[in-house]
């Protein structure tokens, strides 16, 4: 499984911590974002917990790169913000990142791209991957 994803969304739709946490909670995963999450300020390791255990991942905000492929550009449309997610091999980290990406898609109109496979992931695909990961814990 890839260990990186990029969520593309409109700058105005990037959620504050409370809204993002509520969206993650609605998915039924026990992922808690650290209070240090701040849109456009978080740049590096974001501490998170999954059912009380460490499940943090790397999160970075940036403008959409000018050199993305025409196909990806067509898919993301006018979305102007990219949020990069990276995690290590720990399935808790993977689950936390997948849950946040799924919440961004469902509640904030994000498009999620998996660069290693060069594919877009739907809400249903992200949710299925998160559930599969949860079963492996």
Using 50, 70 and 90 to split pLDDT, how confident is the model at 56? very high
Q: Is the predicted pLDDT of residue 5 greater than 70, yes or no?
A: yes
Of 122, 84, 101, 104, the residue nearest 19 (C-alpha): 104
Domains in the chain: how many in total?
A: 1
Range of the domain at 127: 4-135
Q: Phi first, then psi: what are they for 31, rounded to 5°?
A: -100, 130
Listed residue (5, 117, 9, 118) closest to 63, CA to CA: 9
Which phi and psi angles does 100 have, rounded to 5°?
-65, -45
pLDDT confidence of residue 2 = 62
pTM recorded for the entire structure: 0.97
């Amino acid at each position: 499984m890839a260990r990186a994803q990029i969520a593309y969304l409109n700058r105005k739709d990037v959620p504050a911590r409370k809204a993002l946490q509520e969206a993650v909670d609605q998915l039924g995963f026990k992922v808690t974002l650290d209070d240090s999450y701040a849109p456009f300020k978080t740049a590096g390791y974001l501490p998170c917990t999954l059912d009380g255990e460490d499940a943090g991942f790397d999160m970075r905000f940036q403008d959409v790169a000018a050199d993305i492929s025409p196909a990806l550009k067509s898919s993301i449309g006018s979305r102007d913000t990219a949020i990069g997610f990276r995690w290590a091999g720990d399935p808790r980290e993977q689950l936390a990142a997948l849950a946040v990406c799924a919440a961004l898609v469902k509640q904030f109109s994000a498009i999620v791209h998996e660069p290693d496979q060069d594919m877009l992931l739907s809400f249903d695909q992200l949710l299925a991957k998160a559930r599969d990961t949860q079963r492996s814990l």
